[in-house]
Chain A
Amino acid sequence: MNIALNQKITRFLTSFEEPHEVCVSGNEAIVRGALEAGVGGVFSYPGTPSTEISEAFSHISRFQLSRSNQAEYPSLTSSPLYFEYSVNEKVALEKAIAFAIGRRHALCCMKNVGLNVASDALMTIPYQTITGSLVIVVCDDPGCHSSSNEQDSRRWGRHASVPLFDPATPEEACQMTREAFSLSGKIRLPVILRMTTRVSHARGSFDFRQMEPRPARGAFERSPRHINIPARTATAHQRLLDKLNGDILVPFNHAHNRITRAKNKSDFGIIVGGVPTAYFLEQACAHQLTDDLNILKIGLLNPFPDDVVLDFLSLGLTKILVLEELDPIIENSVRVVAQKNAIHVEIFGKGSFQLSLTGEYSQDIVNHALALFTGKTLENKTTHHLPDSDSLSMDLPVRPPNLCAGCPHRATYYGLKLALPREKGELIMCGDIGCLGLGGLPPLNMMDTVNHMGMSVSMAQGLDRALGESSNRKIIALLGDGSFFHSAIPSLLNAVYTNANITVIIFDNRTIAMTGCQDNPGAQDDTGFQHIDIEALIRGLGVEWVKTMNPFELNDTCHMVQQAVDFRGVSVLVSKSPCIMLSKLDPRPKQRVTVDGSKCRICGNHADAALHCSQVCNIESGLARARAKSLGETHIDARQQLCPANICNHGFVSAIQAEDYKTALEIVRDKMLFAHTCGEICHRPCEGDQGDRIPIKFLKKFVASLEDNFSDFSQIIQRSKEQKKNGLQVAIVGAGPAGLSSAYDLIQAGYAVTVYERDSKAGGLLKHVIPDFRLDKSKYDQETGLLEILGVNFRYNTSLGKSIQLPQLATDFDAVIVAVGLSQADTLAVIENSFAEGRKFNSTDFLHAFNSDEIKLEPGATVLIIGGGNAAMDAARAAQKLNPGGRTVISCLEEKASMPAFQEEIDHAIDAGITILDDSCVAGVGTPDNGRHQVYLNRYSSGESLESMDVDYAITAIGQSAEALLPGDWLQTDQNEPGGMPDNIFIAGDLAAGNHQSLIGAIGSGKKAAIAVRKKLENYAYDYAGQTALDNLTGNAAGQRSFSTLLSSAGIKIDPQLIQQKIKPFHLHQTCERCNHCIDNFGCPSLYKLNGRIVVDQQSCNRCGLCIDVCPNNAIHWETEPVIKILEIR
């Protein structure tokens, strides 16, 4: 025990022959008064504002029991008093009563509502007797600074028929405590000392005096008074009333209810009680009011001093002002006296001069009432407010109390938040009081009900019964270990007994924390008392499912919570970790926690902050990312699922996990136009070929298929309206996906864009050649149609080399992007030379005609498609549809595993019944017979003969080449290095050297060309962000049939619940700038925002390290070096 505390305790226990002036609080004054009176046992439960009383006795008890102190201070430790924190106030009072029946001197102290809990014991004992003495200290809280109500506990005096003292200052508290013990011993009744916060916590000067140690020995004598049975009650009641009216009380009454007459003759009177006395006296002295006011101060309130009041009224008073906080107890009793004695006097009390029934009084309130009552002005000329002080001190940021940094309750709440979504109001949480009650405040917001102590478990089971089947989620009760021991045990027992279906979570921090860490039966400190095992106790109550968890093990916490909620019946989780204030139990780690500014709220997708990001930053989005991080089973770095269009897949997936499908689609549209189209036909390079990645394509199709989402282009149209034009003009030749992607990016960057297209409509290969059964053309048209709405100019039916020339465009525009594609189909000589017109096609023309409904095949025909790429698959499937009764065969040079077609397309062809003869080539073609030809096929690898077949139609799909629209050497150069070509001309799409021939390859290439234009024309500082992904494109993707394929081929309607189920195990992680998660959902007071980044306040951080698990950007980590010693002081 430290020196300061020792000094305080020895001062308490020392007897001073010469009075020793001290300045102590009202609570400390009670301790001294009780010791001076010879108290032998103190029984208590913590509760503001009474806690300092019991804490002092707790320290005194430990001091007196210590062997070394017994040696060093024999006189102070000779009769050690007994102290305990009982399980609750009822037991405390019962035990105190018993102590007093054992002829000892007992004190029982509690807060206002505590006496409610103890009231059964209080109400009965006055009908019986005690042989020692018993003082009950109850501390009210006018203004509700830290209580559930502001009840007026002075009422207990009359209600229980016991004497009640009401001190106004610390000096009176000490004095009245002594008097209370004396009175109690004489009258054989408990005596109540009623305090309020302002007296308990005020400090005032008075004297510590002499104490005579009176070693008391307990004794019990049989007496009929100890047996309370109805037969005795009536006489007991009368005996009780006689006690209160008897002689014993007379001297106490006169000592504590005193009249002070005015110096001058006056018919004005003031009656005061409690702390308003102090306010009044200060004013009275400052303004010499005592000259003209008669004053009655009430200190012993019950039995009410009718005689003294009558004396006061008989002074000939005509006006009386009654000053008391809360209920008009004095006021109404005075009115009764006046009425009974037919005294006519005007009494001002509650409701006059703005004197309120609620809240505290203050000096201002009392001054105001006095001024109006006396008709005098009582202003002090120096006391006026500063100008504008109102506006400067109002509407300031609030600072409500918060769980401490490192509090285990925050860890438990956070685990609950992750495991049990309640953002949409779907879960009911019944809370309780104590530190865990702070979890009801923002940002945790984890409570729906809080009442009095112990109500949580009763509320949960009561609501469960009321709601029955209308509640689809189990109701959860939350309470601390203190409340559990205090009053929830019977309630829990009742829940088991009545077959309730609830989950109870006990926040076991091994102490009663809110009042300053007092012990309870769960504490494991050296209290000298037994430690009670909560889990064993709960099991003993009959609970089948009870588990203990460490809340800082976040993952375990989430799983156990889920199991507890899934269990049908009463389940109890004990979340056990010591209060951070119990420093002995868990020394603070030496390493600091720090935030890496390069990861906190930093975009991991693109460097250019001017690019629009549709991701939202709110509670739900933060939780989605956090849940994925903490509960996900498959963790994938977003760099493993890159897109050549640099779509932020991280944002996309987490928006879907947050069930915000609209934002998910907008995130795609931030980067490119073709969300729905890619959702249908992209070859998914981002998904890899192992089958363990997120099915981005399928998700894209899902969000784009939600009709309201798809048709709503309003956000991008709005942004485009607000975009400042930069006055630069770009021409784009070719309205295929590459050219259109360049147009999309450039129009959003403020350029004027003109697109030249030789066809009559935009769309390119995708529109004309890809068959309708592969792509919903109407959606594609809507997507491409957006460009015109955004202000892109289209010139259709305009061909390069005919109506427009490249050198001219390069002069007329600031830059030109050529994206005309590979429109020339390659042909096979052997087919060209043998098959007749109408019997031979290249795949481009064939599909064009198929799409325009301009082609028919003879029924039952055999169609041979030559080629192993996507075009071959498309052509084969188209032929199959035109010719369902016939035979459709594909011959390709490559082996199945190396066919350039996308696996999905190969699968579609096979599923359609098309035969694929891989590793084959056309060796020769026979003479025609009625339009048919015999075609001889060899093994390509070995040259062996394979088979021959009668073929009616031959379609070659062996590749595309560029039309000779550009000088040949232009095409050999990398699109970023001009070399021969004017340096304001750029190539994009299939035409660009080395570009991957796929939809996403075209889109990426178009975006890359747009970046090249911007670099040239405006010195744009950033590189094309999709370069890596573009470089990684391969032909074969997703070797296995993935979730995407299965569902789309089965034609199952996509159900959002199915989406959520499938996506739940995934965590696609990347740093994100739209993050406020630690502030929005965690709320540790040591984390705050400075200049847009989160900073750890090292002064308050207790280094629990939980924020490291919380941060979805993984921006928080332990520092590696140990801390400088000076900061270790706590």
Chain B
Amino acid sequence: MQQRKKLILASVGGQGGVFLVNLLVEAATLAGLKVGASEIHGLSQRGGSVTASLTFGENTYGFVDEAQADYMIGLEPLEAQRHLRYLHPDSRAVIDSHRMIPHSVSSQQTSYPDTDAFIRYLKGHIRQVIYVSEETQDIAPIMRNLYVLGRASELKNFPVPVASIQQAIDKMAKPKLLKASHQAFVKGVDFRITETVVDV
């Protein structure tokens, strides 16, 4: 029986977080996995915080509560930190370093938290952390989410196979962007082959 696994996705509206969730649902279905997903949606394009979740296995309905996320994909560091309470000691996370400064920080009401300290904390408390700090100049900014998803495939026992994700990209990407989408994803997948592994 397929093991129950839960994944939480934290992003800023407009980064394509919801697209990633839909992609993973499609990929999981193609791979014959039982999958559920949930998101809060409607204001997502207006640059607010976006939370989405996926569950794999029977009798799960897409809901992830606190301390239940086995995996986290954080497309933005502050949003990843905001969802810290969803993680538990056996969690595995991939977090992008690209900051999106909210207005509350620019207007100096508050300061952006220390990301390095946060990543250090995570590395000391959960099973695996992939911190995506490299630049990807040849990938269009709106496809950074696919690159990060590619990097996420390096997480141990990541629930969705790479091949299925690629099939899903074929079905779901806009035709003009199909090639670029694949390139972005594959570049993330290939990263571990060209660079040293981070943490286990």
- Cβ–Cβ < 8 Å partners of A278 in chain B: 61, 63
Task: Determine whether the beta carbon of A393 is less than 8 Å from that of B46.
Answer: no
Q: Take A145-B40, A202-B36 as given contacts and tell me if A1080 and B171 are in contact as well, using a CB distance cutoff of 8 Å.
A: no
- Cβ–Cβ < 8 Å partners of B59 in chain A: 281-282, 285-286
* Interface flag for B200 (CB, 8 Å): no
- Cβ–Cβ < 8 Å partners of A396 in chain B: 78, 81-82, 113
B140 interface neighbour in A438, A514, A1127, Cβ under 8 Å: A1127
Q: How far is the CB of B174 from chain A (nearest CB, A)?
A: 5
Task: Determine whether the beta carbon of A1129 is less than 8 Å from that of B180.
Answer: yes
- Cβ–Cβ < 8 Å partners of A3 in chain B: 175
- Overall SS of chain A's interface: loop
Q: How far is the CB of B121 from chain A (nearest CB, A)?
A: 7
* Interface flag for B123 (CB, 8 Å): no
Task: Determine whether the beta carbon of B125 is less than 8 Å from that of A386.
Answer: yes
Q: Which residue of B lies closest to A277 (CB)?
A: B61
* Interface flag for A22 (CB, 8 Å): yes
Task: Determine whether the beta carbon of A1089 is less than 8 Å from that of B106.
Answer: yes
* Interface flag for A786 (CB, 8 Å): no
Task: Determine whether the beta carbon of A399 is less than 8 Å from that of B66.
Answer: no
Q: Take A205-B36, A385-B88, A390-B85 as given contacts and tell me if A397 and B78 are in contact as well, using a CB distance cutoff of 8 Å.
A: yes
- Cβ–Cβ < 8 Å partners of B143 in chain A: 1129
Q: Take A146-B42, A203-B38, A386-B89 as given contacts and tell me if A1085 and B103 are in contact as well, using a CB distance cutoff of 8 Å.
A: yes
Q: Take A385-B88, A392-B118 as given contacts and tell me if A1079 and B103 are in contact as well, using a CB distance cutoff of 8 Å.
A: yes
Interchain CA distance A543-B26 in the complex, whole Å? 53
How many A residues face the partner with a CB closer than 8 A? 76
Q: How far is the CB of A845 from chain B (nearest CB, A)?
A: 60
* Interface flag for B196 (CB, 8 Å): no
Q: How far is the CB of B163 from chain A (nearest CB, A)?
A: 18
Interchain CA distance A723-B37 in the complex, whole Å? 63
Task: Determine whether the beta carbon of B81 is less than 8 Å from that of A1126.
Answer: no
- Cβ–Cβ < 8 Å partners of B13 in chain A: 401
Interchain CA distance A133-B9 in the complex, whole Å? 41
* Interface flag for B29 (CB, 8 Å): yes
- Cβ–Cβ < 8 Å partners of B156 in chain A: none
Interchain CA distance A278-B79 in the complex, whole Å? 27
Per-position binary interface string of chain A over residues 393-405, scored 1 when its CB falls under 8 Å from any chain B CB and 0 otherwise: 1011111111110
Interchain CA distance A676-B126 in the complex, whole Å? 68
- Counting chain B CB atoms within 10 Å of each CB, the highest count among A363, A384, A393, A399 belongs to A399
Q: Take A202-B36, A397-B110 as given contacts and tell me if A383 and B88 are in contact as well, using a CB distance cutoff of 8 Å.
A: yes
Interchain CA distance A435-B43 in the complex, whole Å? 9
* Interface flag for B34 (CB, 8 Å): yes
Interchain CA distance A197-B43 in the complex, whole Å? 13
Interchain CA distance A197-B66 in the complex, whole Å? 19
Q: Which residue of B lies closest to A1089 (CB)?
A: B106
* Interface flag for B161 (CB, 8 Å): no
Question: Which chain A residues in 372-420 approach chain B with CB under 8 Å?
Answer: 380, 382-390, 392-393, 395-404
Task: Determine whether the beta carbon of B38 is less than 8 Å from that of A397.
Answer: no
Q: How far is the CB of B110 from chain A (nearest CB, A)?
A: 5
Task: Determine whether the beta carbon of B47 is less than 8 Å from that of A404.
Answer: yes
- Counting chain A CB atoms within 10 Å of each CB, the highest count among B61, B62, B121, B125 belongs to B61
Task: Determine whether the beta carbon of B42 is less than 8 Å from that of A198.
Answer: no
* Interface flag for A1088 (CB, 8 Å): yes
Task: Determine whether the beta carbon of A403 is less than 8 Å from that of B60.
Answer: no
Per-position binary interface string of chain A over residues 425-462, scored 1 when its CB falls under 8 Å from any chain B CB and 0 otherwise: 00000000001001000110000000000000000000
- Cβ–Cβ < 8 Å partners of A1089 in chain B: 101, 105-106
- Cβ–Cβ < 8 Å partners of A204 in chain B: 36, 61-62
- Cβ–Cβ < 8 Å partners of B26 in chain A: 23
Task: Determine whether the beta carbon of B105 is less than 8 Å from that of A397.
Answer: yes
* Interface flag for B107 (CB, 8 Å): yes
Interchain CA distance A1099-B141 in the complex, whole Å? 6
Interchain CA distance A1083-B60 in the complex, whole Å? 41
B47 interface neighbour in A4, A202, A1079, A1085, Cβ under 8 Å: A1085
Per-position binary interface string of chain B over residues 40-70, scored 1 when its CB falls under 8 Å from any chain A CB and 0 otherwise: 1111011111000000001111110111100
Task: Determine whether the beta carbon of B84 is less than 8 Å from that of A389.
Answer: yes
Q: Which residue of A lies closest to B26 (CB)?
A: A23
Q: How far is the CB of B147 from chain A (nearest CB, A)?
A: 14
Task: Determine whether the beta carbon of B88 is less than 8 Å from that of A382.
Answer: yes
Q: Take A386-B126, A399-B78, A1099-B141 as given contacts and tell me if A393 and B90 are in contact as well, using a CB distance cutoff of 8 Å.
A: no
Task: Determine whether the beta carbon of A399 is less than 8 Å from that of B102.
Answer: yes
Q: Which residue of A lies closest to B113 (CB)?
A: A396
* Interface flag for A169 (CB, 8 Å): yes
- Which range holds the interface residue count of chain B? 35 or more
Interchain CA distance A1097-B45 in the complex, whole Å? 16
Interchain CA distance A1127-B87 in the complex, whole Å? 35
Q: Which residue of A lies closest to B69 (CB)?
A: A383
* Interface flag for A515 (CB, 8 Å): yes
Q: How far is the CB of A88 from chain B (nearest CB, A)?
A: 19
- Cβ–Cβ < 8 Å partners of B28 in chain A: 23
Task: Determine whether the beta carbon of B102 is less than 8 Å from that of A398.
Answer: yes
* Interface flag for A183 (CB, 8 Å): no
Per-position binary interface string of chain A over residues 1-30, scored 1 when its CB falls under 8 Å from any chain B CB and 0 otherwise: 011100100000000000001110000000
Interchain CA distance A286-B39 in the complex, whole Å? 23
Interchain CA distance A49-B41 in the complex, whole Å? 8
* Interface flag for A201 (CB, 8 Å): yes
Interchain CA distance A203-B107 in the complex, whole Å? 38
Q: How far is the CB of A738 from chain B (nearest CB, A)?
A: 42
- Cβ–Cβ < 8 Å partners of A976 in chain B: none
Interchain CA distance A48-B113 in the complex, whole Å? 32
Task: Determine whether the beta carbon of B12 is less than 8 Å from that of A399.
Answer: yes
Q: How far is the CB of A12 from chain B (nearest CB, A)?
A: 14
Interchain CA distance A97-B68 in the complex, whole Å? 46
Interchain CA distance A443-B106 in the complex, whole Å? 11
Q: Which residue of B lies closest to A168 (CB)?
A: B61
Interchain CA distance A278-B143 in the complex, whole Å? 34
Task: Determine whether the beta carbon of B63 is less than 8 Å from that of A386.
Answer: no
Task: Determine whether the beta carbon of B49 is less than 8 Å from that of A399.
Answer: yes
Q: How far is the CB of A32 from chain B (nearest CB, A)?
A: 15
Question: Which chain A residues in 338-391 approach chain B with CB under 8 Å?
Answer: 362-364, 380, 382-390
B67 interface neighbour in A7, A384, A1076, Cβ under 8 Å: A384
Q: Take A396-B78, A1080-B107, A1129-B142 as given contacts and tell me if A401 and B84 are in contact as well, using a CB distance cutoff of 8 Å.
A: no
* Interface flag for A51 (CB, 8 Å): yes
* Interface flag for A1100 (CB, 8 Å): yes
Interchain CA distance A694-B22 in the complex, whole Å? 62
Q: How far is the CB of B185 from chain A (nearest CB, A)?
A: 15
B35 interface neighbour in A23, A388, A1097, Cβ under 8 Å: A23
Interchain CA distance A1099-B137 in the complex, whole Å? 12
Q: Take A22-B29, A23-B25, A1126-B138 as given contacts and tell me if A1087 and B106 are in contact as well, using a CB distance cutoff of 8 Å.
A: yes
Interchain CA distance A203-B36 in the complex, whole Å? 5
Q: How far is the CB of A258 from chain B (nearest CB, A)?
A: 17
Task: Determine whether the beta carbon of A202 is less than 8 Å from that of B38.
Answer: yes
Q: How far is the CB of A1056 from chain B (nearest CB, A)?
A: 30
Task: Determine whether the beta carbon of B65 is less than 8 Å from that of A364.
Answer: yes
Task: Determine whether the beta carbon of B82 is less than 8 Å from that of A402.
Answer: no
* Interface flag for B187 (CB, 8 Å): no
* Interface flag for A698 (CB, 8 Å): no
Closest 3 CB pairs of A and B: A48-B42, A401-B46, A401-B48
Residues of chain B whose beta carbon lies under 8 Å from any beta carbon of chain A: 12-14, 22, 25-26, 28-29, 34-43, 45-49, 58-63, 65-68, 78-79, 81-85, 87-90, 100-113, 118, 121, 125-126, 138, 140-143, 171-175, 177, 180
**Other A-B pairs, 20, CB within 8 Å; known A203-B25, A385-B88, A388-B121:** A4-B173, A4-B175, A23-B26, A23-B36, A23-B37, A198-B38, A201-B38, A202-B37, A202-B38, A203-B38, A204-B61, A204-B62, A285-B59, A382-B88, A382-B90, A383-B67, A386-B88, A401-B48, A443-B107, A1083-B103
Residues of chain A whose beta carbon lies under 8 Å from any beta carbon of chain B: 2-4, 7, 21-23, 48-49, 51, 145-146, 169, 197-198, 201-205, 278-279, 281-282, 285-286, 362-364, 380, 382-390, 392-393, 395-404, 435, 438, 442-443, 514-516, 581, 1076, 1079-1080, 1083, 1085, 1087-1090, 1097-1100, 1126-1127, 1129-1130
